[in-house]
Amino acid sequence: MNLILAKMFLRTSFACFLLFCSNPGYTQTPDAVRGVLDLRTYTFNTNGPVRLSGEWNFYWQALYTYSPAGIGTEQQWIRLPGVWNEYIWKGHKLAEDGYATFHLKVLLPKEKQSYSIEIPYMYTAYSMYIDSFLVAKNGQVSGQPNTHVSEFLPKLASFQSSRGKADIVIQVSNFEDRKGGIWEVPQISISEKIISSHSKKLAFEFFIIGALVLIGLYQLGLYFIRK
């Protein structure tokens, strides 16, 4: 039994190593400043994906599907990744429960290009809009606890850009978790690169799950045989 488990462990470790080596190393990437992330001169093919980290526009207790900037709405900047717990809004600390809209303007090269955004597990409910179009969601965002529904699935959202910018709006509601907000940020790249990376991550997760299931079945079989 020990020999079989050792072999399975070595094979799993080897697969992890191959997947790790196949992913390009990350270089220093730009951060958003006051709600704007400038990627006009960034080279995705060379430098890899960019995490959408930095200062996002933050609108507490409001759910927008479009960029609310410039229409007289009250907003502040919040740094992501991060939680809104104890964030100061109008002189008061926020609790974990609530809902909000996050907005980021991403400046892109003007050439027509297909981009994708990889959204990690967010452990709450969210809806993502790009240029006012719904591109991804988890659960049901709501301002009321009885209609809010959480969901925990990674997602991949794609869009075309030909005008040199993209307005990303994320609605988030939380009435269950001890941390509210976006504490794992999405990342953006050209579609062909990030779709390939996303597929490798999913394959790795399924491989690990399958290996654990096989080990569990093996141990269960030994239990019944010896019994």
Range of the domain at 161: 30-191
180-218, pLDDT tens digit by residue? 999 899 999 998 767 656 555 656 555 666 767 777 776
| Neighbour-count burial of 70, counting CB atoms closer than 10 A to its CB (0-12 exposed, 13-18 middle, 19+ buried) | exposed
Residues 28-55 have a mean pLDDT of 93
Cβ atoms < 10 Å from Cβ of 11 = 12
For residue 22, is it within any domain? no
**Quick one: pLDDT at residue 225?**
76
Q: And the tokens for 110?
A: 């003007």
For residue 3, is it within any domain? no
For residue 199, is it within any domain? no
**Quick one: pLDDT at residue 203?**
60
For residue 212, is it within any domain? no
**Quick one: pLDDT at residue 67?**
77
Residue % of the chain over a pLDDT of 70: 75
For residue 23, is it within any domain? no
| Neighbour-count burial of 102, counting CB atoms closer than 10 A to its CB (0-12 exposed, 13-18 middle, 19+ buried) | buried
- CATH number of the domain bearing residue 84: 2.60.120.260
Is the pLDDT reported for residue 1 higher than 50?
Answer: no
For residue 58, is it within any domain? yes
111-152, pLDDT tens digit by residue? 889 999 999 888 899 999 999 999 999 999 999 999 999 998
| Neighbour-count burial of 101, counting CB atoms closer than 10 A to its CB (0-12 exposed, 13-18 middle, 19+ buried) | buried
For residue 60, is it within any domain? yes
Is the pLDDT reported for residue 18 higher than 60?
Answer: no
66-70, 155-159, 176-180, range with the lowest pLDDT: 66-70
Is the pLDDT reported for residue 21 higher than 50?
Answer: no
216 vs 73, 155, 203, 208, CA distance in Å?
55, 29, 20, 12
How many domains, the chain? 1
For residue 7, is it within any domain? no
Query: What is the chain's mean pLDDT, rounded?
Result: 82
